[in-house]
């Protein structure tokens, strides 16, 4: 039985036989040949990022199958609680030391997630898993990694305001990538002037 779990701008996510089926949506505003090629490239790129993350000991869903013709990615289903809900229910800021460890490994592997929010993290069996690499990239730049952290920090202050400072303190205990944290300050200053 196939069940729709989520639908974003880029893809529909289904649960079928304890597997995640990620189907990239056709964009009617794009020329169909270009659309097909883009979806194929993005499907392949996401699979590669997940495989690279996995090799670098980041907790991510395993890639089970790629169908480039249908733009479908079949992934392991991580049956746990979204960190967003876990924080709302438990107010446990200490979980962010685990999150810091995972993101540090991700960035050391030169992968940026692109959408580091508590909705794209799952807590299962005392482990934090990072999910949804649809906006992910390969990057060696501190700037790109700092933008990743900026998104996470913004998510904390907007969605988990009452414990955001404690969460960030826990995160910093394990993340410890000095040059990226230094770059984050520049990114944050830029953000302030934009408003």
Span 147-185, pLDDT tens digits: 999 999 999 999 999 999 999 999 999 999 999 999 999
Please state, in angstroms and rounded to a whole number, the distance separating the CA atoms of residues 24 and 22: 7
Q: How many distinct structural domains can be found in the chain?
A: 2
99 and 63 housed in the same domain? no
Per-residue model confidence as pLDDT tens digits over 28-82: 899 999 999 999 999 999 999 999 999 999 999 999 999 988 899 999 999 999 9
Give the residue numbers spanning the domain of 59.
Answer: 2-76
Which of 41, 76, 111 represents a domain boundary (last residue)? 76
Per-residue model confidence as pLDDT tens digits over 157-166: 999 999 999 9
Task: Give catalytic residues, as residue numbers.
Answer: 115
Which of 27, 53, 76 represents a domain boundary (last residue)? 76
We report the CATH number of the domain holding residue 136 as 1.10.510.10
Q: Which stretches does DSSP call E strand in the chain? A: 2-7, 11-16, 19-24, 63-67, 72-76, 81-82, 111-112, 121-124, 127-130, 137-138
8 and 92 housed in the same domain? no
pLDDT at 109 > cutoff 50? yes
139 to each of 10, 53, 106, 123, how far by Cα in Å? 21, 13, 11, 26
C-beta of residue 46 within 8 angstroms of C-beta of residue 24: no
Residue whose structure tokens are 């934009």: 194
């Amino acid at each position: 039985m196939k069940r729709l779990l989520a639908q974003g701008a880029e893809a529909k996510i289904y649960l079928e036989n304890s597997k995640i089926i990620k189907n990239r949506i056709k964009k009617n505003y794009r020329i169909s040949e270009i659309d097909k090629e883009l979806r194929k490239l993005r499907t392949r790129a996401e699979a590669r990022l997940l495989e690279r993350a996995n090799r670098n000991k980041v907790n991510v869903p395993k890639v089970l199958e790629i169908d480039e013709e249908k733009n479908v990615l079949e992934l392991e289903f991580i049956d746990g609680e979204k960190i967003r809900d876990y924080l709302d229910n438990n107010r446990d800021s200490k979980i962010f030391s685990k999150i810091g460890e995972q993101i540090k490994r991700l960035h050391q592997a030169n992968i940026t997630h692109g959408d580091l929010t508590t909705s794209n993290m799952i807590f299962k069996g005392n482990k934090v898993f990072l999910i949804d690499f649809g906006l992910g990239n390969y990057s060696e730049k501190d700037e790109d990694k700092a933008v990743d952290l900026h998104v996470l920090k913004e998510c904390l202050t907007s969605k988990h305001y009452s414990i955001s400072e404690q969460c960030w303190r826990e995160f910093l205990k394990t993340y410890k990538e000095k040059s990226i944290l230094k770059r984050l300050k520049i990114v944050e200053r830029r953000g302030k002037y934009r408003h």
